[in-house]
């Protein structure tokens, strides 16, 4: 939505996305069993869910192509960034490219949940009025304690065969996720944040390899403050 079309100031858009399969699995089990807060929030969210559906094995859901574990239900990150056009709800290249375009033209920052601390550092750099000392707040023991209570319970890992099928069904979501991740790493390099490379664990062959991560800051002749000013003018 362009506020300029209606005579208003354009807001600053920020967002964070998560690995698509991890997001799906977390949502699948949270809807059924909630988290450690003990407030029965899963029953509040899904009061009409039948018992056989609540305890449906994740592998059965995926391998037998239940609606919850297949498209279009698995296609939700791209439609959010794509917009309101009907084609944004159709898994494919058109929606993918439209979502990328909107990220480039309308968002100050789209971060990666798996690198949340770096997201917070950049937000403090870009929007200090709102995010001053945000990383210190995030690392506060009381905040950590609260965060631990929101971990989804009874979450299990699907079989390698089921994971492979999920990747195939969510291939456009992964193209978008890795595009955003690459742009995020470029932004980190621009402002001198290193993407620390940890020694990877052995991966089964069904995992999609991630792009190489950047190691060192790059020199850029463009002034950082000028870059931020250009963002706000969009």
- Give dist(CA 118, CA 186) in Å, integer: 12
Look at residues 90, 73, 92 and name the one whose alpha carbon lies nearest to residue 27: 73
Q: What total number of domains does the chain contain?
A: 1
pLDDT of residue 28: 93
Domain hosting residue 99, numbered range: 3-195+204-233
Give percent of the chain with pLDDT exceeding 70. 77
Give percent of the chain with pLDDT exceeding 90. 60
Q: Which of 11-25, 122-136, 143-157, 211-225 has the weakest average pLDDT? A: 211-225
> Is the pLDDT score of 209 beyond 70?
no
Q: What is the CA radius of gyration of the chain?
A: 20
> Is the pLDDT score of 200 beyond 60?
no
CATH number, domain of 116, equals: 3.40.50.300
Match 């998560």 to its residue by tokens: 18
Give the pTM: 0.80
Residue 221: which residues within 8 A CB-CB, separation 6 or more?
none
> Is the pLDDT score of 201 beyond 90?
no
Structure tokens at 13: 């858009």
Residue 104: which residues within 8 A CB-CB, separation 6 or more?
183
**Which three-class secondary structure state does DSSP give residue 108?**
strand
- When comparing pLDDT for 173 and 217, which is higher? 173
Kindly report, residue by residue over 216-233, the tens digit of the pLDDT.
334 444 455 554 555 444
Mean pLDDT along residues 181-201: 77
pLDDT of residue 20: 96
User: What's the mean per-residue pLDDT of the chain?
Assistant: 82
- For 48-77, what is the HEC assignment? CCCHHHHCCCHHHHHHCCCHHHCCCCCCCH
Helix-helix angle 20-33:171-190, to 10 degrees: 110
- When comparing pLDDT for 195 and 8, which is higher? 8
Kindly report, residue by residue over 70-123, the tens digit of the pLDDT.
999 999 999 999 999 999 999 999 999 999 999 999 999 999 999 999 999 999
pLDDT of residue 47: 78
Look at residues 148, 123, 121, 133 and name the one whose alpha carbon lies nearest to residue 37: 148
């Amino acid at each position: 939505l362009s506020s300029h079309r209606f005579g208003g100031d354009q807001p600053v858009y920020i967002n964070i996305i998560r690995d698509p399969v991890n997001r799906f699995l977390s949502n699948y089990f949270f809807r059924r069993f909630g988290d450690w807060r003990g407030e029965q929030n899963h029953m509040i969210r899904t009061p009409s869910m039948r018992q056989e559906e609540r305890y449906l094995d994740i592998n059965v859901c995926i391998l037998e192509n239940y609606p919850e574990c297949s498209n279009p239900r698995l296609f939700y990150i791209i439609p959010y960034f794509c917009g309101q056009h009907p084609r944004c709800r159709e898994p494919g290249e058109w929606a993918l490219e439209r979502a990328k375009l909107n990220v480039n033209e309308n968002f100050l920052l789209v971060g990666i949940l798996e690198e949340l601390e770096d997201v917070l550092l950049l937000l403090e750099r870009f929007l200090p009025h709102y995010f001053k000392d945000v990383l210190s707040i995030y690392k506060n023991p009381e905040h950590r304690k609260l965060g631990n209570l929101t971990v989804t319970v009874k979450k299990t890992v699907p079989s390698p065969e089921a994971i492979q099928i999920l990747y195939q069904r969510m291939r456009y979501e992964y193209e978008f996720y890795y595009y955003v991740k690459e742009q995020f790493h470029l932004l980190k390099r621009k402002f001198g944040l290193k993407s620390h490379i940890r020694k990877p664990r052995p991966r089964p062959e069904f995992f999609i390899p991630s792009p190489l991560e950047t190691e060192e800051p790059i020199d850029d002749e463009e002034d950082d403050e000028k870059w931020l000013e250009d963002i706000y003018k969009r």
